[in-house]
Amino acid sequence: MTVSPVSPAAAGSASRDLSRARAALAEARESTDHLLKYSSAHVAALRVAAAVLAVRARPVRSGPRRRVQRNAWVLLAEVAPEFGEWASFFAAGATQRAAAEAGLERAVTTREADDLVRAVETFYELVESSLHLATQPTLTTTFAPESVLAQPWMQAS
């Protein structure tokens, strides 16, 4: 398989997204609150998807008609079909993430949160190896004391 060269801008954006994903994953791993753990893990998955999109997606020129908006998971499945099952899996958890962020205790179990963290770790490693970017720090990077969900870059998600 040949690897297309990645533009420096796309590589930089993808690296930043992976760094943000590592921070969210670290927060998820260290959290004792299952709702925060689930939310942070799902945010990490979105950041990993954003890294793929930064490298593989191509801008679409808007025509006279408005294009249908698609979420990150739909776009991921389109531009990286090898991650289509991952996209479906994480898209299915979006409602639970919203409920967890709203503080609904029964939205997510501790087991589901732990399982999601492990799934995101696997997804991260698969994406990182597929992107062929410069060496990244390992997944064990620690996070800043403030919540990833409170970061300004998270507010637009």
Question: What's the pLDDT tens digit per position in 36-76?
Answer: 999 999 999 999 999 999 998 876 666 666 666 689 999 99
CA distance 123 to 93: 14
Reported residue count of the chain is 157
Q: Which of 132, 113, 153 is nearest to 5 (CA)?
A: 132
Residue 80 pLDDT greater than 60, yes or no: yes
Contact assessment for residue 96 and residue 107, using Cβ atoms and an 8 Å cutoff: yes
∠ CA 100-34-93 to the nearest 5 degrees? 45
pTM value?
0.78
Mean pLDDT confidence for 110-116: 97
Q: What is the mean pLDDT of the chain?
A: 84
Between 7 and 4, the more confident residue is 7
Residue spans of alpha helices (H) in the chain: 8-30, 34-56, 72-79, 84-92, 94-101, 110-131, 152-155
**Looking at residue 67, what is its pLDDT?**
65
